[in-house]
Amino acid sequence: MLDRRKFLAGLAVGAAGLLVPKGKLPAFPAQKGAKPAPKPKDEKYAMAVVKGGDPTLVTRKAIDLIGGMGSFVSRGDVVLVKPNIGWDRTEEQAANTNPLVVAALVTMALEAGAKKVVVADNPCNDARRTYKRSGIEDAAKKAGAEVLFMEDRHYVKTNLNGEVLKDWLVFRGALDANKIINVPIAKHHGLGGITLMMKNLMGVTGGARNLMHQRLPESIVDLQAFFKPQLNVLDAIRILKANGPQGGSTKDVEKLDTVAASADPVRLEAWGISLFGKKIENFPAVALAEKRGLGIKDFRSSGFIEVNLG
Amino acid sequence: MMKNLRRVSQIVFFLFFVYLFIQTEYKGRNELGLPVRLFLDFDPLVALSSLLASHAVRAVFLFSLVTVALTIVLGRFFCGWVCPLGAINTAIGGLRMRRLKPGRSEGRFPRWRPVKYYVLVFVLVAAIFGWNAAGFLDPISLTIRSLAIGYNPAINKIARSALEAGIGFNIPLVSPGLDALYTKMTGTVLSFNQPIFRQSLFIGLIFTAILGLNFLAPRFWCRYLCPLGALLGLIGWKQIGARVANDKDKCISCRKCVVACQGDATPFPPGEWASRECLVCYNCREVCPASAISITAGARNTGDGNVDLERRWLLASGIGALLVVPAIATGVQRKRTDPSLIRPPGALPEQEFVRRCVKCGECMKVCLTNGLHPTFAEAGLEGLWTPILVPRLGYCEFNCNLCSQVCPTGAIRPVTVAEKQKIHIGLAFVDKNRCLPYAFKRQCIVCEEHCPTPEKAITFVEEPAIDERGAMVILKKPVVNPDLCIGCGICETKCPVIDRPAIYVTAINESRAEENQLFLKI
């Protein structure tokens, strides 16, 4: 399995013929300075941005560049893949995570030996419609995931121990999972400016979560600090640049064919902001998260790689 | 044999009815794909009353002509073999019927037999003068409404509580099994979300009382009150295809047929059979120990026990309707529209709407967000139990047009999703005294986040302020653009000011009403 995946990835970058079993090479030393050229496939980067290609390939390549799914998911794990399935919108309207990106992550997690992969979200519109219309329900099921609606009885009152969030209803699946893969889409948001990694975690909470808007940056950092997803992926296959977070007009959508992945959500958050041409300083959640040791905002620092498959 | 066949037919039609009822819910596709309102389409009273009240002829009425044609041949077979309320009454009435004794307690109220005709006259005269009262008493509308609003929430609650209790006990193997079962059942047998309706207890109790009448007399409703039964009785009184004949030479006057009769149609004494009351149930033939009763096509002079309708009561019913109509038409709703009278998208102008609507509750059952509820006083008596959107409880989903798919009378006309997205059903207003950024200098803007129009109808103005912590913030204060706002109400549903919302929708600016506009048309 591993070999085939690596092989595909290898083909994609045009670095063929080097089918060395993984694990025999030492971890690649951190890269400094300018954007490094694509390296042989077994190097492990801290953050990868891959663009230009089919969402499945782009996602696979991004994960492979940061060490492969095997370095995040272990055999027998129960994995929660948490996309944004918040809105009754289609893939083209870019209000929800791209279904192929979700499906690719499900497939890879299963290939890495996960016992079960759950895909779920607590959406803003009716779950039946958002799951269907986003394309995620069908794509994730086809990839072998268990697609769950978050029903009332699935929430457990949990102390999040945050700066502003204390007792909240939390989706049991997020507590039960051994690994969480957080995979939002990058899009415009009225209050937050842009919604990216950390805000997506609101989707594993229930109750009066719209109260979080009163202290949004602190709230989403609290969520990140509590859940600490092991793998973070940001979908920028399409980004929504206005009228977010639910959009509706494809005029507001830009197709970038890009996916970024890292263990560090703050780097992805910062990179996501840069996609919109905005200043990271204007997004207080990023600095807050860095201050609390949840990641680093200088996403171009050590171990950053950008690959264009196109 | 025929009796058993009739029972099978009742069970099959009842199960089909329940199946369609359960399917009256979003099932993953924009189009329901099933004719969930089929029983209403074949209901001549629904067709006739909305035809009389609205003067609109609709192609769908052709279905009810099938029922009419069959009734001319077979009499009230619909009551005996098809009607779902009839089936429920047969089942419950059967409990009573078992205790009846020929000649002693026969469980009959023969003098009540004309009442349903007077009810029918009242309803039809009222319809002619523009009040569609048929829906209150039409058995199909009554049953769907009562099940959707009254019974379904209770059934769901009971089933869900039982399952949750079972899961809560944490019994190994059993509880996880129940949990999986629960998930399987929601959206299939049970509703996807626990339904909650205004007036559900009230509407449920009325239906329960109607079912309870079976303990006075079996099928009391069908025999004495049902206006559809009356209409079918009048249409099918010849019953040329299945006439009941009691052979007086064979009859031993045991009166067993009188007691077994579902419709109080007096198969005994011979020659007294009341065809208008006969539900073609075949009980009389089955029960007769002397084989005196036969049911055959075309038999003549088998009986004329049909009750006379008294002219004074017919007049009283008609005149009663005539008197009630003006009283209703002078309700306050005719002077001022109630601000909460937010009709579903595609609803006709108010007068036309209430004339057509039969209060069947299909739209409320199918509403994705459980946002459509029966009116109480908002639309006056003429509009009692017609649907309104209560945005505090549920909003109108931007991409959904299910209510317009299920309406049997076109009160909500069929609209495409694209068409529906342009229909204004009301307008949102911000209550600055309650809105968090305006009144308390706290960030919120949840309304803007959820606003579904591609170009947002709710935007915000930014204003620097000192917040409750003494920190400098740029507050985002919501502003509604009345040209873009379609009144879907999601802002009100989601507003975190959870009791009286800080943003709310009223019916003003609704597309369907020229007279309910806010701005000068230039």
pLDDT tens figures, A61-96: 999 999 999 999 999 999 999 999 999 999 999 999
- How far apart CA B362 and CA A265 sit, in angstroms, is 47
- How far apart CA A191 and CA A181 sit, in angstroms, is 25
User: What pLDDT is recorded for position A3?
Assistant: 55
What confidence tens digit (pLDDT) does each residue in A197-250 have? 999 999 999 999 999 999 999 999 999 999 999 999 999 999 999 998 999 999
- How far apart CA B258 and CA B109 sit, in angstroms, is 12
- How far apart CA B507 and CA B517 sit, in angstroms, is 9
- Domain holding B481: CATH number? 3.30.70.20
Q: How far is CA B301 from the centre of its chain?
A: 40
Q: Are the CB atoms for A267 and A198 separated by under 8 Å? A: no
Residue A61 lies in a domain: yes
Binary contact (A128, B369; C-beta < 8 A) = no
How many angstroms separate the CA of residue A135 from the nearest CA in chain B?
12
Binary contact (B186, A249; C-beta < 8 A) = no
Binary contact (A126, B28; C-beta < 8 A) = no
Residues with Cβ < 8 Å from B326, sequence gap 6 or more? none
For range A137-151, the mean pLDDT: 97
Binary contact (A246, B442; C-beta < 8 A) = no
| CB-based contact, A90 to chain B, within 8 Å | no
Residue A230 lies in a domain: yes
- The beta-carbon neighbor of B26 closest among A128, A153, A189 is A128
Q: Binning pLDDT at 50, 70 and 90, where does residue A304 land?
A: very high
How many angstroms separate the CA of residue B445 from the nearest CA in chain A?
6
How many angstroms separate the CA of residue B338 from the nearest CA in chain A?
28
- CB count within 10 Å of CB A75 equals 9
How many angstroms separate the CA of residue A115 from the nearest CA in chain B?
18
pLDDT of residue A24 exceeding 50: no
Residues with Cβ < 8 Å from A277, sequence gap 6 or more? none
- The beta-carbon neighbor of B443 closest among A148, A208, A216 is A216
pLDDT of residue A36 exceeding 80: no
Sign of the C-alpha dihedral computed for residues B466, B470, B472 and B473 taken in this order:
negative
* Residue ranges of chain B whose pLDDT lies below 50: none
For range A243-270, the mean pLDDT: 96
Binary contact (B442, A153; C-beta < 8 A) = no
Structural domains of chain A, count: 1
Considering only the C-alpha atoms of chain B, give the largest distance between any 2 of them, rounded to a whole number of Å.
Answer: 103
Residue B292 lies in a domain: yes
Q: How far is CA B192 from the centre of its chain?
A: 20
Residues with Cβ < 8 Å from B422, sequence gap 6 or more? B486, B511
Q: Are the CB atoms for A42 and A9 separated by under 8 Å? A: no
What confidence tens digit (pLDDT) does each residue in B123-154 have? 999 999 999 999 999 999 999 999 999 999 99
Same domain, B390 and B255: no
| CB-based contact, B436 to chain A, within 8 Å | yes
Residue A25 lies in a domain: no
Residues of B in contact with A191 (CB under 8 A): 443-445, 448-449, 476
Sign of the C-alpha dihedral computed for residues B510, B513, B516 and B521 taken in this order:
positive
Helix, strand, coil share (%) of chain A residues, nearest 5: 35, 20, 40
- CB count within 10 Å of CB A244 equals 25
User: What pLDDT is recorded for position B44?
Assistant: 96
Same domain, B355 and B416: yes
Residue B30 lies in a domain: yes
Same domain, B35 and B69: yes
Binary contact (A249, B498; C-beta < 8 A) = no
Residues of B (453-472) whose Cβ lies below 8 Å from A: 453-456, 460
Binary contact (B476, A129; C-beta < 8 A) = no
B7-31 burial, b for 16+ CB within 10 Å, e for fewer? Answer: beebeebbeebeebbbebbbbeebe
Residues with Cβ < 8 Å from A260, sequence gap 6 or more? A47, A48, A49, A50, A62, A233, A234, A236, A268, A271, A272
Binary contact (B446, A88; C-beta < 8 A) = no
| CB-based contact, A124 to chain B, within 8 Å | yes
- How far apart CA A198 and CA A224 sit, in angstroms, is 6
Residues of B in contact with A132 (CB under 8 A): 28-29
User: What pLDDT is recorded for position B7?
Assistant: 97
User: What pLDDT is recorded for position B329?
Assistant: 85
Residue B464 lies in a domain: yes
Residue B484 lies in a domain: yes
Structure tokens given for A249? 């007009």
How many angstroms separate the CA of residue A246 from the nearest CA in chain B?
7
Binary contact (A129, B369; C-beta < 8 A) = no
The reported pTM is 0.91
| CB-based contact, B421 to chain A, within 8 Å | no
- The beta-carbon neighbor of A246 closest among B400, B452, B476 is B452
Same domain, B9 and B112: yes
Same domain, B101 and B227: yes
Residues with Cβ < 8 Å from B335, sequence gap 6 or more? none
State the residue for tokens 């609650």. B157
Among B258, B280, B296, identify where a domain stops: B296
From A117, A38, A32, select the one nearest A83 (Cα to Cα): A117
| CB-based contact, B400 to chain A, within 8 Å | yes
- CB count within 10 Å of CB B119 equals 21
Computed over its alpha carbons, how large is the radius of gyration of chain A? Answer: 18
Q: How does DSSP assign B329-340, residue by residue?
A: HTSGGGTS--TT
The interface predicted TM-score (ipTM) is 0.90
- How far apart CA A54 and CA A258 sit, in angstroms, is 9
- How far apart CA B476 and CA B463 sit, in angstroms, is 7
Determine whether B351 is exposed, middle or buried from the number of CB atoms within 10 Å of its CB (0-12, 13-18, 19+): middle
Residues with Cβ < 8 Å from B445, sequence gap 6 or more? A190, A191, A213, B437, B460, B476, B478
Same domain, B409 and B450: no
Q: What amino acid is encoded at A85 in this protein?
A: I
User: What pLDDT is recorded for position B299?
Assistant: 80
Residues of B (24-43) whose Cβ lies below 8 Å from A: 26, 28-29
Same domain, B44 and B106: yes
Same domain, B244 and B380: no
Binary contact (B454, A149; C-beta < 8 A) = no
Determine whether A60 is exposed, middle or buried from the number of CB atoms within 10 Å of its CB (0-12, 13-18, 19+): buried
User: What pLDDT is recorded for position A4?
Assistant: 56
For range A98-121, the mean pLDDT: 98
Same domain, B402 and B441: no
DSSP collapsed to 3 states, B95-106: HHHCCCCCCCCC
Residue A35 lies in a domain: no
CA atoms within 13 A on the CB side of B40: 27
**How many Å from the N-terminal Cα to the C-terminal Cα in chain B?**
73
Helix, strand, coil share (%) of chain B residues, nearest 5: 45, 10, 45
| CB-based contact, B182 to chain A, within 8 Å | yes
Q: What amino acid is encoded at B62 in this protein?
A: L
| β-strand partners of A256 | none
User: What pLDDT is recorded for position A5?
Assistant: 54
Residue B212 lies in a domain: yes
| CB-based contact, A301 to chain B, within 8 Å | no
Q: Are the CB atoms for B476 and B520 separated by under 8 Å? A: no
User: What pLDDT is recorded for position A25?
Assistant: 41
- The beta-carbon neighbor of A248 closest among B445, B454, B460 is B454
Same domain, B128 and B16: yes
- How far apart CA B460 and CA A189 sit, in angstroms, is 12
- The beta-carbon neighbor of B187 closest among A128, A213, A249 is A128
User: What is residue A79's three-state secondary structure?
Assistant: strand
H or E element that contains B178: helix B174-185
- CB count within 10 Å of CB B441 equals 16
| CB-based contact, B492 to chain A, within 8 Å | no
Binary contact (B445, A215; C-beta < 8 A) = no
How many angstroms separate the CA of residue B196 from the nearest CA in chain A?
15
- How far apart CA B207 and CA B145 sit, in angstroms, is 9
- Domain holding B365: CATH number? 3.30.70
Same domain, B409 and B455: no
Residue A26 lies in a domain: no
| CB-based contact, A284 to chain B, within 8 Å | no
CA atoms within 13 A on the CB side of B221: 28
Averaged pLDDT of chain A: 89
H or E element that contains A234: strand A231-240
Residues of A in contact with B179 (CB under 8 A): 153
Structural domain range at position B352 = 348-420
From B349, B368, B366, select the one nearest B407 (Cα to Cα): B366
Residues of B (68-127) whose Cβ lies below 8 Å from A: none
Residue B322 lies in a domain: no
Binary contact (B454, A252; C-beta < 8 A) = yes
Residue A23 lies in a domain: no
H or E element that contains B388: strand B387-389
- How far apart CA B399 and CA A265 sit, in angstroms, is 33
**Rama region for B282: left / alpha / beta (φ>0; ψ in -120 to 50; rest):** left
Binary contact (A126, B186; C-beta < 8 A) = no
pLDDT of residue A136 exceeding 60: yes
What confidence tens digit (pLDDT) does each residue in A290-300 have? 999 999 999 99
Angle, CA B238 vertex, CA B232 and CA B241 arms, to 5°? 95
Among B420, B454, B469, identify where a domain stops: B420
- How far apart CA B16 and CA B6 sit, in angstroms, is 15
Structural domains of chain B, count: 3
Q: Are the CB atoms for B46 and B78 separated by under 8 Å? A: no
Binary contact (A252, B456; C-beta < 8 A) = no
Structural domain range at position A7 = 2-15+41-308
Q: Are the CB atoms for A141 and A147 separated by under 8 Å? A: yes
| CB-based contact, A125 to chain B, within 8 Å | yes
> Residue A134: closest CA among chain B residues belongs to which residue?
B28
Structure tokens given for A124? 């803003």
| CB-based contact, B366 to chain A, within 8 Å | no
Strands of B84-128 (E only): list them: none
H or E element that contains A185: strand A185-189
- Domain holding A102: CATH number? 3.40.50.11440
pLDDT of residue A19 exceeding 70: no
Computed over its alpha carbons, how large is the radius of gyration of chain B? Answer: 27
Among B404, B420, B436, identify where a domain stops: B420
User: What is residue A255's three-state secondary structure?
Assistant: strand
- Tell me if the bond preceding A245 is cis, omega within 30° of 0: yes
Same domain, B77 and B222: yes
- How far apart CA A269 and CA B30 sit, in angstroms, is 35
